[in-house]
Amino acid sequence: MINVTVYRSNNQITAFELSGHAESGPYGYDLVCAGVSAVSIGAVNAVMELCETNLEIEQGKEGGYLHVTIPASLDASVMENVQLLFEGMYISLKSIENEYSKFIKIYSK
């Protein structure tokens, strides 16, 4: 199971963590894992490229783990764009959870 935890402060995403493996199909054919990976890595790449922002990123060497922290020191207009992109990621992950709840669970803290 993939566990996603989204950390918030004052209704803004401050960090998120993905851990585990969906195991919804054979290695290389796991559509849930592929979808979650594409959505999360795509959002991280979009933030770094479009917002010209460095994020604190920790990844597991064997996959199955991603922790991203948004720097609190961002300019307000940049933070607004970062939030929009990561809220889009959150909505996409919730859509995956709605369809494949046996393989992914999302928590908010």
Catalytically active residues are: 21, 33
Please give the single-letter amino acid code of residue 32.
V
Which residue carries 């796991």 as its tokens? 30
Exposed e or buried b per residue across 36-48, where buried means at least 16 C-beta atoms within 10 angstroms of its C-beta:
bbebbeebbebbe
According to DSSP, residue 55 is labeled -
